Amino acid sequence: MGRYESCKYFDTLYDATEKCFPNVNRENAQTILREVILAPDDYTVEFNDDTYDKHKIMDMLAHTLTMSCVEESPEQTYRDIINCAAEIMKHMNDGYITDEDYDERQNFIERIDRYEFTLFAAYSFLQTTHSDDETVMAEVALNIVRLREIRDLITNYTRDEKGITTDREEFERAKPIYKMLKSLQTLGYDYNFSPKERQSLDIDHEDDDDLNGYFKYENWLKRIMLLQLRKEIVVQTATESAAQYTPSRPSEEDLSDRIAMLRGTYNKRRFDKNRFIMLESSKESLNENDEKIG
């Protein structure tokens, strides 16, 4: 399975569509996104008595998706990510990995993965519309690369385990990376790892195939849309099947009849006169035989 094709974070695209068109509900937002991604280029999206060019909506989605990954400002978001990565590097290599240390690591990776999917979707929309804003395109691509580098640092230099003790060698490997991350916070938003650093740390994503401009971004968008639709159909079918076989609720009269029947059954089991007489007779016969034997 290729990158992002689990569609784990696909809801971010629906969320962005709702933000672009705040007057539509979730169901309509899903329809709009499906038409925008799957329709031919000359198709016009219509809803609420308005018409929209497919590429215009894609540009709106790209902007909304990009801004959804920004907290306060791009610079502040970058510094926050770098700081979190540095703290995780320290906590995961300081001798013992607690549950809190591990949860911090996993939550951070989850955040990075969501941001990366969101920005890659934005980048794909921009590539599909052939955006001429090269500055925006370059910045989005740079941020995708940064996220991939940071994620690699965490996965390469921290253990995916908890409740274990790390050794001195792991501490020594992580220490220069921690210092490097802390220094990045002071060097500004435009600074990043050098090519030599990327190579030595095995985190180089500068030449990733899906960021080279020749990647088929429109096909990727269609593919994940179809994969998402397949998942939604499976869920819908399962829900309908469960509803179809749900037993009907008995009426009050039916319940009364069942209770009366059970009460009669239980009463018979609790005391049966004929069976009682038979058991008493058997008991007396046994006692008489015992006395004769004695």
Structure tokens at 265: 């059954």
Distance CA(10)–CA(14), nearest Å, equals: 7
Judge whether 11 and 26 are in contact, CB under 8 Å: no
Per DSSP, the three-state class of 98 is coil
Structure tokens at 85: 């990565």
Distance CA(228)–CA(6), nearest Å, equals: 9
Residue by residue, pLDDT tens for the chain (294 residues) are: 467 888 899 999 999 999 999 988 999 999 999 999 999 988 888 877 788 899 999 999 999 999 999 988 888 898 999 999 999 999 999 999 999 999 999 999 999 999 999 999 999 999 999 888 889 999 999 999 999 999 999 999 999 999 999 999 999 999 999 998 988 888 877 777 888 888 888 888 888 889 987 899 999 999 999 999 999 988 877 776 666 665 656 665 665 665 665 555 545 445 556 655 665 566 566 555 555 555
Domain boundaries, the chain: 11-237, 253-293
Distance CA(234)–CA(5), nearest Å, equals: 16
Distance CA(279)–CA(216), nearest Å, equals: 88
Nearest to 62 by CA among 102, 12, 105: 12
